[in-house]
């Protein structure tokens, strides 16, 4: 069993955060990921947050909505629910949201690129990005890269351009 950081890292009293309960929920909430693949409680919670962000993005886009200001800072963590061992995110800053019957490919690409750009310096790993992608598209990575490689290459290129424009340098980590 991997060592876990103390619950104080999450600003939660030890009586409200029970790792055993989290382990029992892991296969259902992470799909094919297992606790052996997760090195710490913080990493586990990060994985849940990535899945939650992917579900929010998928729900928006699959219903003809694009955020148009889709940065990681617009996801807010519900702290009271975190104290009850839940990861629940809220998406804010909805005043620019685009509403259509079906989202245009370019609008989806721009949302995804903005989210990718804004997450580049957040300490995410390649595994986090791939986990997000799999949850967002609800398909295997092999299928995604076979069928959608051009789209995800556009997302990556646009995110890098945004990063260079904003920071004046190339990002340290590109996945």
Catalytic residue among 32, 69, 78, 128: 69
Q: Closest Cα partner for 111 from 77, 150, 149, 162?
A: 162
Distance CA 85, CA 162 (A): 35
Q: Which residue has the tokens 């148009």?
A: 68
Distances (CA, A) of 110 to 38, 47, 116, 139, 158: 31, 23, 10, 21, 8
Phi, psi of 76 (to 5 degrees): -115, 135
The H or E element containing residue 77 is strand 75-77
Phi, psi of 120 (to 5 degrees): -60, -30
CB atoms under 10 Å from CB of 143, counted, come to 11
85 carries an active-site annotation: no
**Any idea which residues carry the catalytic annotation?**
69
């Amino acid at each position: 069993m991997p060592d876990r950081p103390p619950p104080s890292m999450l600003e939660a009293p030890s009586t409200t955060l029970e790792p055993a309960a989290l382990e029992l929920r892991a296969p259902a909430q992470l799909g094919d990921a297992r606790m052996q693949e997760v090195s710490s409680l913080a990493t586990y919670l990060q994985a849940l947050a990535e899945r939650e962000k992917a579900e929010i993005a998928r729900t928006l886009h699959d219903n003809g909505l694009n955020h148009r200001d889709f940065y990681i800072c617009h996801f807010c963590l519900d702290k009271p629910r975190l104290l009850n061992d839940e990861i629940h995110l809220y998406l804010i800053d909805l005043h620019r949201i685009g509403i259509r019957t079906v989202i245009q490919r370019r609008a989806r690409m721009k949302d995804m690129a903005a989210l990718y750009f804004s997450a580049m310096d957040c300490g995410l790993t390649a595994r986090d990005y791939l986990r997000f992608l799999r949850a967002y598209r609800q398909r295997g990575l092999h299928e995604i890269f076979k069928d959608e490689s051009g789209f995800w290459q556009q997302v990556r290129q646009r995110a890098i351009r945004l990063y260079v424009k904003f920071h004046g340098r190339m990002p340290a980590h590109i996945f």
